[in-house]
């Protein structure tokens, strides 16, 4: 198919993926001035009979129009075209640059409860729109959820309804039916496997995603209770009773016992997730400490560049620098992610590393005063160095200290004066508006996670960011 031109317009560049239901290609639109790139999905019924083809064509047109309507949502690929050529059906959609969540999740550590809940809410918020359009996705799984590179938001792809074409057939009585259940084993509940999907079938799939990212196990690795058919998974992870009950209800075998609407699930999950702090999770650029802050921290400036003075000893009671293979692997991962410009993943790895260094319980939403004071200086210096070097001074603790200094604020004012904090948040792109109120703070999903973000934008160290940056400053970066 490579280089083949479809309907004298779309030239195939490469194959993106191939499954049991069809093949997906990357193509260029030869009619567009800039030869824009699109995703082209190829589908065809397995049954070659002409009467099956005619039924498939009607189904294809119906489902293509449904996809066209769904594409109006910002987190669903835009729909551009559909056509039939040579007995094959084709759909043309927006090309989403980024990675699927399978690549994102499998390449890093298991998610915490809070991160798992936040991810599920992200997915469910988009799924709510899908269900409002009277559409069941039918193939929700990590590989069919993209993390868009431009803004870090998730995008739902590869809707299942159009895939019915592959298994379509016509009985002797003229009745159209399908011989293949649309969906993926492990994410597909029994009623969907029987060809009778319901809205709560999608909820089952999202619940399986939650269990997968929380345990670090693939969905086909879990066993079932032979008496009830219920999934056995809580023996694989230390999970709170609240989240365990919600996930159990999402993936219960009998569909009537599940949550029936997305709103029901989100309502329960929002009771579990720790509230987003008013001081948003932030990411911090590091480079050169200047003038007032540099002098206050005792950093020697030579030729306008701060010479880093590393503490040679740690005072009694300070948590020792991270040791062992796990910590070193986290450092290597942070460095590799930052070098590759995968800033969102680097930010997550950074926070996991900080928790590991502090020997904490993985609660990523809060750091106590005592915990912040006991962070190892060599570790904070090493983290800062990675962010500084890989971002060319755009991200890291040093860059954030420069922003505070550039605002004309002292570190003490930053900690104690809410307007100084707001000025900082505005400068690094965590808040819009003015320093007169607390309106305009961005959520984690609204942060940029790109090298084009404002200086000091990245390095999101939780609710008590001010405590960590104070500790980092005292460590003489």
Considering just the CA atoms, what is the radius of gyration of the chain in Å? 26
**Residue 458 carries which DSSP code?**
B
**Residue 16 carries which DSSP code?**
E
Distance CA(269)–CA(119), nearest Å, equals: 11
Answer yes or no: are the C-beta atoms of 285 and 455 closer than 8 Å.
yes
Torsion sign across C-alpha atoms 348, 351, 357, 361: negative
Catalytic residue among 100, 139, 335, 466: 139
User: Given its phi and psi angles, is residue 106 left (phi above 0), alpha (psi -120 to 50 degrees) or beta?
Assistant: alpha
Distance of CA 53 to the CA centre of its chain: 39
* Active site (annotated) includes residue 29: no
Distance CA(350)–CA(356), nearest Å, equals: 10
User: Given its phi and psi angles, is residue 115 left (phi above 0), alpha (psi -120 to 50 degrees) or beta?
Assistant: alpha
Residue ranges in 216-324 assigned as alpha helix (H): 241-250, 262-272, 291-297
Q: Which two tokens stand for residue 382?
A: 């090493």
Taking CA atoms, 15 is separated from 4, 32, 46, 239, in Å, by 12, 21, 21, 40
User: Given its phi and psi angles, is residue 324 left (phi above 0), alpha (psi -120 to 50 degrees) or beta?
Assistant: left
User: Given its phi and psi angles, is residue 235 left (phi above 0), alpha (psi -120 to 50 degrees) or beta?
Assistant: alpha
Distance of CA 384 to the CA centre of its chain: 24
3-state secondary structure string across 167-207: CEEECCCCCEEECCCCCCCCCCCHHHHCCCCCHHHHHHHHH
Taking CA atoms, 22 is separated from 51, 53, 64, 186, 187, in Å, by 20, 16, 15, 20, 19
Distance CA(334)–CA(329), nearest Å, equals: 9
Distance CA(320)–CA(314), nearest Å, equals: 8
Q: Residue 6: which of 86, 95, 93 has the closest Cα?
A: 86
**What amino acid positions are annotated as catalytic residues?**
139
């Amino acid at each position: 198919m490579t280089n083949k031109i479809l309907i004298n317009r779309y030239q195939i560049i490469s194959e993106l993926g191939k499954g049991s239901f069809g093949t997906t290609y990357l193509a260029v639109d030869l009619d567009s001035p800039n030869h824009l790139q699109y995703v082209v999905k190829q589908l065809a019924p397995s049954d070659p009979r002409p009467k099956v083809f005619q039924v498939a064509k009607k189904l294809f047109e119906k489902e293509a129009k449904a996809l066209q309507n769904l594409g109006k949502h910002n987190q669903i690929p835009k729909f551009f075209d559909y056509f039939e050529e040579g007995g094959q059906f084709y759909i043309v959609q927006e090309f989403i640059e980024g990675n699927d969540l399978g690549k994102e999740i499998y390449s890093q550590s298991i998610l915490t409860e809070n991160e798992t809940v936040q991810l599920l809410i992200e997915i469910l918020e988009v799924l709510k729109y899908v269900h409002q359009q009277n559409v069941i996705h039918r193939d929700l799984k990590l590989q069919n959820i993209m993390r868009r590179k431009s803004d870090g938001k998730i995008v739902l792809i590869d809707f299942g309804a159009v895939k019915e074409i592959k298994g379509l057939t016509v009985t002797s009585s003229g009745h159209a039916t399908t011989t293949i259940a649309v969906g993926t084993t492990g994410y597909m509940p029994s009623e969907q496997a029987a060809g009778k999907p319901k809205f709560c079938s999608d909820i089952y799939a999202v619940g399986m995603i939650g269990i997968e990212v929380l345990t670090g196990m693939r969905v086909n690795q879990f066993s079932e209770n032979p008496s009830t058919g219920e999934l056995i998974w809580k023996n694989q992870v230390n999970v709170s009773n609240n989240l365990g009950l919600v996930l159990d209800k999402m993936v219960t075998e009998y569909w009537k016992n599940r949550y029936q609407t997305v709103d029901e699930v989100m309502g329960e999950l929002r009771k579990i997730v720790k509230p987003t702090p008013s001081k948003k999770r932030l990411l911090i650029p590091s480079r050169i400490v200047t003038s007032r802050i540099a002098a206050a921290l005792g950093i020697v400036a030579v030729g306008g560049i701060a010479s880093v003075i590393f503490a040679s000893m740690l005072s009694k009671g300070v948590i020792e620098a991270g040791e062992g293979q796990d910590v070193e692997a986290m450092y290597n991962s942070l460095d590799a992610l930052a070098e590759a410009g995968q800033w969102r993943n680097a930010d997550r790895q950074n926070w996991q590393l900080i928790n590991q260094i502090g020997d904490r319980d993985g609660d990523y939403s809060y750091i106590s005063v005592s915990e912040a004071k006991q962070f190892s200086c060599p570790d904070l210096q090493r983290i800062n160095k990675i962010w500084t070097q890989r971002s060319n001074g755009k991200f890291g603790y040093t860059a954030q200290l420069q922003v505070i200094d550039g605002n004309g604020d002292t570190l003490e004012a930053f900690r104690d004066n809410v307007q100084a904090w707001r000025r900082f948040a505005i400068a690094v792109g965590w808040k819009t508006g003015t320093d007169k109120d607390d309106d305009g703070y961005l959520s984690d999903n609204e942060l940029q996670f790109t090298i084009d973000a404002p200086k000091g934008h990245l390095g999101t160290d939780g609710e008590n960011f001010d405590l960590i940056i104070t500790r980092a400053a005292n460590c003489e970066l």
